[in-house]
Amino acid sequence: MASSYLLLDENMHFLDKGEGEMKKSRSILDLVIISIKSFSSLHMFDKLVVSGVSMMDVRGLRWEILWAAFILLVMFRAACMIYRAHIHPLRSIPGPWISSATSLWIRWQRWHGRLSFEADKLMAKYGPIVRISPNLVILNDPEAVEKVFVRKDLDTSPKSIRALRVGGHDWTVTYPQHPIARSRRHPVMIATTTKNLKLRHQVFVDNIEAMVRDIAESGGERSEDIVHHLRICTLKNSQVIMGGSTVDVDATNFPHVVGEYNFLVVWRLCLPGWLFEWLQYGPFSHARFRVRSSDKLFDLGDELCQQAAKNEATFEEDPSIYKLFTDPGAKYPTQAWTDPEIGAEMAGQVLAATETTSSALAFIYYELAKNQSLQHDLYKELCAHEGYEELDSLKLLDACIKEGLRFRPPVALTGSRMVPPGGLNVLGYYLPAGTVITTQSLSMSRQRPDLFPDFDSYNPRRWLEDESNAEKRRLLVPFGIGARRCPGGNMATYQMRLILAATFRAFRITLAPETTPEKMAPFEANGYRSRHDRCDLIFAPRVG
């Protein structure tokens, strides 16, 4: 700095000299300017170096903070897992350590569609009560299950059932509170009594025979996906029960929509909610359609309501669930409906009515197609009985349906109950308030090898034996137990008799080449279905 000022002073001194000295003074001035610029550059470089070091320090500090936060998070999660497994009030409930410590185990099993079968393995190992998640126990003792599930003061688990919302709205199944659900269940139970179903008997038969004609177009030369046909047929049948005789919604896309919705339920149970907001606008068309299937299902329910509202007939003249829902004088009057609420309710009821029937039937068709001897015996029984009346008197047909509902029940985890304040004592274990109790019909028979020695096989003839038949029937609970059991179970079995009778009278059914055991392995997606959600069969028309 001092040398720079010295050069400047000398330069000013030269300005007072003659012209001969001007060139010299200018050259010196240029030197001064260069020196000043050099000094400035060095000063700025020093600042940049210091700044760079500071930035490196800040970045290093940020990484240290992130690492510290990560380590604290890991330690916190580890502490939570240790607490749940070794300190939590449910620590004494039998079960593997991993399922007691974290919900990742149950999410993993749900994602792979095998929760019920894995839970069944755990019950075979640990007993009739097992902890399958930090706050969830599965119960398989018939007496204990009935004692808990028959109570009307217990709510269902809100977190899991909300996965079944339609178009962002709740319906009967997704309401945890029993009083709300009861007021909505009662109209369904009235509309699906055997008496009221018989009023629609001919409509059912006409729709089923239309399905048979559609299948017959293949002439037995190409395979047909029976799941696709069943979904359309059961929609046609259920829409009459839901909205009355004048309702006729477009069923073209329904099989695809409801199929994707079933797998959407799995996503909702396993993935964070924010992910769906991205997926429905993301670049993947299949994922977009799956996320939007809930809205498409809601649109179908809304269309059904609009058509039903135009029907001016009374319930006595044209009975329907819609009439009962909107009847102010009903025994269990429901809330004042908004259009979205009743649209979601009807969509949910259609979903329940179609999927319980079609999923159970698909596995029955598959098993009978594999067993030609059993199919032949069923065909002979059906041919000996004329028409579609009194089909419930056919023992082998009834046995095929019972065994299908036992072997591959339409619902996986058949309901849940939330332990109330004060807790419950179940099978000698104390369950604190907030604990969720669930059960599953699958294990009711699988955990009784004395009654079902070949429980992993489809064997309808077991139901033709008189010995222990009453005890076997007591363990058959495909539509749930207690106050929140499926109100449409009677309609499901009523349709199943008609559909099986019509198709096996008309066709000899065999497996298509593409239908393999691997493809038909059960996958849990809002109930049991095949891994690829289809069942391709050959329907060869019977002659004579």
Residue numbers in the known binding site are 486
Other beta carbons within 10 angstroms of residue 59's beta carbon come to 10
Q: Cα(375)–Cα(365) distance, rounded to whole angstroms?
A: 10
Closest among 440, 261, 415 to 348, alpha carbons compared: 261
Query: Is residue 508 within a helix (H) or strand (E), and if so which, with residue range?
Result: strand 507-511
Q: Which two tokens stand for residue 262?
A: 């079933």
> Do residues 435 and 148 make contact, with C-beta atoms less than 8 angstroms apart?
no
What are the residues whose beta carbons fall under 8 Å from the beta carbon of 72, sequence distance 6 or more? none
Reduce the secondary structure of 25-92 to three states and give it as a string. HHHHHHHHHHHHHHHHHHHHHHHHHHHHHHHHHHHHHHHHHHHHHHHHHHHHHHHHHHHHHHCCHHHH
Assign 255 to helix, strand or coil: helix
* Residues found in the chain: 544
- For the chain, the maximum distance between any two Cα atoms, rounded to a whole number of angstroms, is 138
> Do residues 129 and 95 make contact, with C-beta atoms less than 8 angstroms apart?
no
Q: Cα(134)–Cα(253) distance, rounded to whole angstroms?
A: 40
DSSP string, 514-537: T--TTTTSEEESSSEEETTS--EE
Known binding-site residues for heme equal 486
Q: Cα(366)–Cα(353) distance, rounded to whole angstroms?
A: 21
Q: Cα(464)–Cα(469) distance, rounded to whole angstroms?
A: 8
What are the residues whose beta carbons fall under 8 Å from the beta carbon of 541, sequence distance 6 or more? 216, 219, 220, 506, 507
For 523, phi then psi, to 5°, come to: -130, 130
At 207, which amino acid appears?
Answer: N
> Do residues 485 and 415 make contact, with C-beta atoms less than 8 angstroms apart?
yes
Closest among 366, 369, 393, 371 to 382, alpha carbons compared: 393
Closest among 96, 113, 124 to 455, alpha carbons compared: 124
DSSP state of 139: E
Q: Which two tokens stand for residue 172?
A: 């009967």
- Tally: H helices and E strands in the chain: 21, 11
Q: Which two tokens stand for residue 276?
A: 């769906």
At 533, which amino acid appears?
Answer: D
